[in-house]
Amino acid sequence: MNLDDVPALARVDQHDTARILTEFPEQCRRGHALPAPVLGGARPRLIVVAGMGGSASGGDMVAACGAETLDVPILVHRGYGLPAAAVRDALVVATSYSGDTVEVLSAADVALARRVPLVAITAGGALGALADARGLPRVALPSGLMPRMALGYLVFPLLAVLAGCGARVTSAGEVDEALEVLAAQADELAPARALEKNAAKRIALNIGDRLPAVYGGPLTATAAYRWKTDFEENAKVLAVAGAVPEMNHNEIEVWRGPAAANRHIVLLREEGESAQIARRFELIRDLATPAAGGVSETWARGTGRLARILSLAYMSLWVSFYLAMLHGIDPWPVPTLEEVKRRLASR
Ligand code: PA5
């Protein structure tokens, strides 16, 4: 597949994912403008974001943005029920784009049973119905997207909900910067931008048939995990994600053997990373380059944490889109994931 052949891409991209991705900055603007519920009560001592897959990803990114400044812990809970620490002085944000994810519904049930304040962020489904029936505070999201492609609707309303309960993660200036950075990236990464000037196409081509291993630092490791899941859901390609420095204590060991030739490293860097982390990235490159199938590097954009993390997530959406195109795969449907949900529901 020639990634510059836009009509050929459109033939594989049967659900017009390229348009959804091109409109992503606008989606973020709309997500930022959505009305957030006003929460009464005291400032929470713990925030639990309950979500799975693409819907949990928004929680990861907000938690990473707040990690250095917010004095309230944000715990992203992926699974049934709720952790024991979620009690009445906490806030639970049940986040499910479809509103029908059973793990999130189970978390919401436990929150209600324990009388933990509960907010729903959803486009509808059973979670929307529960919020309506119980009069719960809710952010009503526009429907019609795949959850992982609705990241703007999952991040910005969550930021607004947290700001509304006294746990502000980002300033207005950081939000504006993130929106500007994403708008600039939309042009640079879209299918009409030729390979030589399109970093997302180049990374996808560099990966080719190899297994991608994505490594990030203290902030960007959250985006690395998002790259892994985008490769898996959009391109249907197994990927691994790791964090620096932790991977220097285990995973680094796999990069000198012959099998490394079938894998490709992607390093997620940021200008603000510390000298210690920068040194480790250089070491990974040095040690892995001789045996690895290749090493790519991409840098976060902007100065604020929100711009940095979202710019890497946006890059991930595009790289996984182009990798799907190279494999002749429509990035939109996830039939196996849906079959799991169907089979669980029928028991
Ligand atoms: O992106 C996807 O399609 C999945 O990872 C879903 O997000 C995941 O299955 C959970 O569904 P939902 O986001 O609707 O709660």
Q: Tell me which DSSP letter residue 56 carries.
A: H
Supply the pLDDT for residue 346: 85
CB of 55 closer than 6 angstroms to any ligand 1 atom: yes
Residues with active-site annotation: 233, 249, 341
CB of 98 closer than 6 angstroms to any ligand 1 atom: yes
Supply the pLDDT for residue 197: 97
E strands, 38-89, where? 46-50, 74-77
Going residue by residue through the chain, which has 347 residues, state the pLDDT in tens, using 9 for 90 and above. 999 999 999 999 999 999 999 999 999 999 999 999 988 888 999 999 999 999 999 999 999 999 999 999 999 999 999 999 999 999 999 999 999 999 999 999 999 999 999 999 999 999 999 999 999 999 999 999 999 999 999 999 999 999 999 999 999 999 999 999 999 999 999 999 999 999 999 999 999 999 999 999 999 999 999 999 999 999 999 999 999 999 999 999 999 999 999 999 999 999 989 999 999 999 999 999 999 999 999 999 999 999 999 999 999 999 999 999 999 999 999 999 999 999 999 86
CB of 128 closer than 6 angstroms to any ligand 1 atom: no
Give distance in angstroms: CA of 174 to centre of ligand 1: 27
| Cα–Cα distance measured from residue 31 to residue 37, given in angstroms and rounded to the nearest whole number | 14
CB of 95 closer than 6 angstroms to any ligand 1 atom: no
- Which residue(s) pair with 85 in the sheet? none
Task: Residue 235: name the closest of 259, 208, 214 by CA.
Answer: 208
CA 150 to mean position of chain CA atoms: 10
- List, edge to edge, every strand of the sheet that includes 46-50: 74-77, 46-50, 90-96, 118-122, 138-140
Give distance in angstroms: CA of 191 to centre of ligand 1: 26
Q: C-alpha angle 93/99/104, rounded to 5°?
A: 50
Rounded to two decimals, the pTM is 0.97
Alpha helix (H) residue ranges in 231-327:
275-288, 305-326
Q: Which residue has the tokens 């009388």?
A: 115
